[in-house]
Structure 1
Amino acid sequence: MATRTLVGIDVGTTKVVTLVAEAAEDQLNILGVGLTPSKGLKKGIVVNVDEAVTSIVTSVEKAERLSGYRIGSAYVGVAGGHIQSLNSRGVVAISRADREITPADLARALDAARAIAVPTQREIIHVIPRSYIVDGQEGIRDPVGLSGFRLEVEAHIVTGAVTAIQNLIKCVQRAGVEIDDLVLQPLASSEAVLTPAEKEMGVMLVDCGGGTTDAAIFIDGSIWHTVVLPVGGNHITNDIAIVLRTPFDVAEYLKIRHGQARASLEAASQESKEGEDDTIAVESFTGSKKRTVSRTLLHQVIEARVQEIFQMLRAEVRRVGYDGLLPAGVVLTGGTALLPGIEEVARDVLNMPVRIGVPTGLGGLADAIDTPAYATCVGLVRWGFKRGGVAPYLVPQEQGWARIYNRFKSWLREFLP
């Protein structure tokens, strides 16, 4: 039985995750995972190359040690406020005598859809077919083998800022890893947590990250819209730091340890571990004696920002005209989706069914990644698995010695002052 080893790297604002999986027939077995705090990124965009490279190297080496596999290439997620999307249509004529549509005709139609005016500072990441039209007959998923005079494709096009993409590619390659393909993060997450039935009925995948909140809308089995909101879990942490007048790292700890997205949520698991009263000890900037603040105040701060995020998503859904077209509701992934009560807030604001999406159908070390925070990385390896190694986004490759040198330089930097 032939097997393939696939690697996904999720370079996020708050963490870098590297996942190594073995693909055998229809099964993905997790061999190793490397998680490390992310530095050098802000809102999904590289702002410090050296710090970002060091974070990627650390994550990759952890995954290598656990899996026993030497990582040479990977599928890499891309996100950030620079991401934009639009829908396009491509039209080609079938001029052969038999009029039979071939895969080459599909490629020509996608090329025609790709031929849009893109500013010089932007480039196309994905051209994804939504559906095909043959001689006016709409809603065709796979027209290969059909006969016709005219073939049209409705495609979803994702673009990104050239410099942001180049900087991400540079960081991954300097970490000693070549790129098999760049994949939009919510698109990858959808591969891990959405069911075919949800995509058919109409569903919105919401990836709640640290620097951004990414959403992808699926209708009739294909992607119809993507959007990246420049607000995420870090903004919640920042709100806590400001209101409670405490350092950012302390605010992050409070969010993870005591936070919940619904201030009125009643759950026995949220009882204070510091005593019977409803207070939390908070460290100040000066490092002096700790203050006590109301646990309810912490929850109110979190709920206010979470409500704002879902209000922005609701406005976006209405803006693009898909309100009422998502009977399968919303699936939440990403680290921020771990906040207790976030389902209830999303359900109230969006007025849709909501569930938390976790990766399923995995073997090997699957229990180690059974949380929404790993959805993107699992989706990246599934993306590569389904496409058999085909990489439509072509990345210039560094030469072997350059890769070795950059990996060594990143390793050496950890020991320098």
Structure 2
Amino acid sequence: MTTGIDDKIVVGLDIGSTKVCAVAGRILRHKDHETLEVLGVGETFLADGVAKGSVVNVNNTVEAIRRAVREASNQSNLNIHLVNVSFSGSHVTSVKSSGSITRSSSGDEVQMEDIDHLLSDMYRTTIPADKEIIHALPMDFVVDGETNVQQPVGRNGVKLGADFQLIIAQANAARNVRKCISRNNLTQDTMMLSALASGLAVLTDEEKYAGVALVDIGGGTTEMAIYHRNVLRHVAVFPWAGNSVTSDIQSGCKVLPQQAEQLKRKFGNANPGEYKINEVVAVPGLSNRKPKDVLLKNVAVIIEDRLREIAALVQAEITRSGYDGKLLGGIVLTGGSALIPGVEQIFQRVTGMEEVRVGYPEHLEPNPRADLVGDPAYATAVGLVWAGYKTIDNRISFISDPGRSVYNEEPAPMRPAYSPPAPTATREREREREREKAPEKEPESSGLLAWLKKAVRPIRGSETDTY
């Protein structure tokens, strides 16, 4: 029995390497649980706009977003303006960092505002100019020297700190995503790494507490997010995914890219033993040429080899993160390539984990539109809708930098924060006074000593300055 309907409607916009998908939905509150009612779905296949998760052709991506949002808008009878948008890319890295603040009063308990203050400071962490912090997510807090504090709110203390997971990306890639949003007259509410959004749709709270590795095998990238004790502990992105499988089939079977994709979707299997040695499928040839026979066992061997490589990368990253042997929830596979039969067995053999399952979007209110987004390929889009109602970490109030939610096509020129620009005449008088006060410069030396003087500079920054 439904006991309530949330008036708030959320739209998730997944910009992937092979498709753009928009999903509009709202929460239905039942007596003992909540479900997501899917109100509209729009999908546009994207052939040339996003590569390896990054927008490379803004015009094509803008048009794909427009068509997907229009379709979702027509189905749901909504005027869509605000969206939660996905973000990905092989350039995304995860960096551990720490930060702290000193509170004004030691007698009062730590409040949510103090955590917001600390979180805002982390988004200002010094990083290279061509990088941007997409997420700053806390792991363990520190209150007055007491470490491993899971929930600091309500504790007394002057100094509040935390170890953070900083998810960093190329600033230009993030700018391109915002550009595509603004050119469609949309406003970005939250930008979220695809794997984190997928986790909201397919992971259970028990899995995140016990320890689980979510592996989202998309079109251009494979993303992994490790949770332990309900906290995100590690993130990694690999530049090999479903498109890599398609490319291998194209090369190995000597077929066109579209034909390779069809072979993967219709006949793909990660277990070559499922096909007999002489089972073939006829692939149409070029104009005025006869069809080409392709052995299905060969297709399966190619798929198995590539998925084994991806599974090996995942296992190596789990070991590098320090959580090997600690993930009682095992591995949850999602993304379009998680639908390939036999993928679970591949990951079980390579990683040695018995607990491997394919993650489907859960808690969807039954209706025809929910059926459209009920498989792993739509986990990110559905998770972006869930992001309007629940968070990655309930200890914080925001997971993306509020100051970077809007893209301005004509940004204002940068000015120093410490003083307003002086009028031209005033600046000229200041320069004259400085020239009068300045001591006479020594003749500039040459050779090795001069080179050293120019090369050696004071080093400033934080532990996140280098990678």
- TM-score normalised by L of structure 1: 0.88
Does structure 1 retain, via aligned residues, the 8 Å contact 2:278–2:295? no
Contact 1:110 1:155 in 2 (8 A): no
Cα displacement string for residues 367-404 of structure 1 (whole angstroms, at most 9, x for unaligned residues): 221100111011111112225996644322569xxxxx
Shift of 1:79: 0.2
Aligned to 1:4, the other structure's residue is in SS state coil
Give the Cα–Cα distance (whole angstroms) in 1 for the partners of residues 288 and 187 of structure 2: 45
The answer for the alignment partner of 1:5 in structure 2 is: 9
- Out of 401, 405, 427, the residue aligned to residue 395 of structure 1 is 405
1:56 maps to amino acid = I
Which residue does 2:357 correspond to in 1? 355
The 10-residue stretch of structure 1 (187-196 or 142-151) with the greater mean CA deviation from structure 2: 142-151
**Structure 1 unmatched runs, 5+:** 400-417
| 2: CA distance, partners of 1:201 / 1:31 | 33
Aligned AA (1:378): V
Partner of 1:409: none
Task: Tell me which residue corresponds to 1:141.
Answer: 150
- Please point out which of 62, 65, 71 is paired with 2:71: 62
Equivalent position to 2:112, from 103, 109, 113: 103
Q: Provide the residue aligned with 2:414 in structure 1.
A: none
Q: Pick closer, same or farther for the CA change 1:357–1:158 going to 2, 3 Å.
A: same
Q: Which amino acid aligns with 1:253?
A: Q
Q: Aligned letter for 2:376?
A: P
By how many angstroms is 1:112 displaced?
4.4
Alpha-carbon displacement from aligned partner over 1:35-90 (angstroms, at most 9, x marks no partner)? 11013111111111111111111111111121111111100000011111112222
Provide the secondary structure at the position in 2 that maps to 1:210: coil
Identical residues among aligned pairs (%): 36
User: What does 1:160-171 align with in structure 2 at a 5 Å threshold?
Assistant: 160-171=169-180
Aligned residue number for residue 212 of structure 2: 203
Aligned-partner residue type, residue 395 of structure 1: S
Equivalent of residue 43 in structure 2, options 32, 35, 43: 35
Are residue 374 (structure 1) and residue 378 (structure 2) matched?
Answer: yes
Q: Which residue in the other structure is 1:217 paired with? A: 226
Q: Give matches, 1:42-81, under 5 Å.
A: 42-81=51-90
2:194 corresponds to: 185
Question: Which residue pairs with 1:402 in the alignment?
Answer: none
- CA–CA distance in structure 2, aligned partners of residues 306 and 168 of structure 1: 29
Partner in structure 2 of residue 410 of structure 1: none
Structure of higher CA gyration radius: 2
Amino acid at match of 2:348: R
Structure 2: gaps (5+ residues): 410-467
TM-score normalized by the length of structure 2: 0.79
Corresponding residue SS for 1:385: coil
> What is the root-mean-square deviation in Å for CA atoms of aligned residues?
2.2
Which one is further off, 49-58 or 388-397?
388-397
> 1:134 Cα deviation (Å)?
2.0
Cα offsets for 1:78-126 (capped at 9, x unmatched)? 0011111112222223331514211222123324444533100001111
> Cα–Cα, structure 1 residues 62 and 112, in superposed 2: closer, same or farther, change >3 Å?
closer
Tell me the matched-pair count.
Answer: 391
The CA distance in 2 between the partners of 1:178 and 1:248, in whole Å, is: 35
The 2-side partners of 1:228 and 1:8 are apart by 21
CA drift at 1:235 = 0.9
2:452 paired residue number: none
The answer to whether the 8 A contact 1:330-1:355 is kept is yes
Question: Which residue of structure 1 aligns with residue 431 of structure 2?
Answer: none
Aligned residue type for 1:191: L
Contact 2:6 2:26 in 1 (8 A): no
Per the alignment, residue 280 of structure 2 pairs with: 279
Match of 1:15 among 6, 19, 23: 19
Query: Which shifted more, 205-214 or 255-264?
Result: 255-264
Query: Which residue number in structure 2 is paired with residue 294 of structure 1?
Result: 295
CA deviations over 1:346-376 (Å, ceiling 9, x no partner): 1111111210001111225322211001110
Q: Shift in Å at residue 178 of structure 1?
A: 1.6
CA distance in 2, matches of 1:395, 1:117: 19
CA distance in 2, matches of 1:175, 1:216: 30
Matched ranges for 1:90-129 at <5 A: 90-129=99-138
Structure-1 residue corresponding to 2:462: none
Deviations 1:214-250 (A, max 9, x none): 1101111110111110011111111111111110001
1:172-214 per-residue CA deviation (whole Å, 9 max, x = no partner) reads 2212322111101101111111111111111100100010001
CA distance in 1 between partners of 2:264 and 2:40 (Å): 28
**What is the distance in 1 between the residues matched to 2:280 and 2:6?**
57
2:119 and 2:372 mapped to 1: Cα distance?
A: 39
Q: Using the TM superposition, give the Cα deviation of residue 293 of structure 1 relative to its aligned residue in structure 2, in angstroms.
A: 2.4
Separation (CA, whole Å) in 2 of partners of 1:292 and 1:132: 61
Deviation at 1:138, TM superposition (A): 3.2
| 3-state SS of 1:143 partner | coil
Find the aligned partners of 1:250 and 1:367 in 2 and give their Cα distance.
Answer: 27
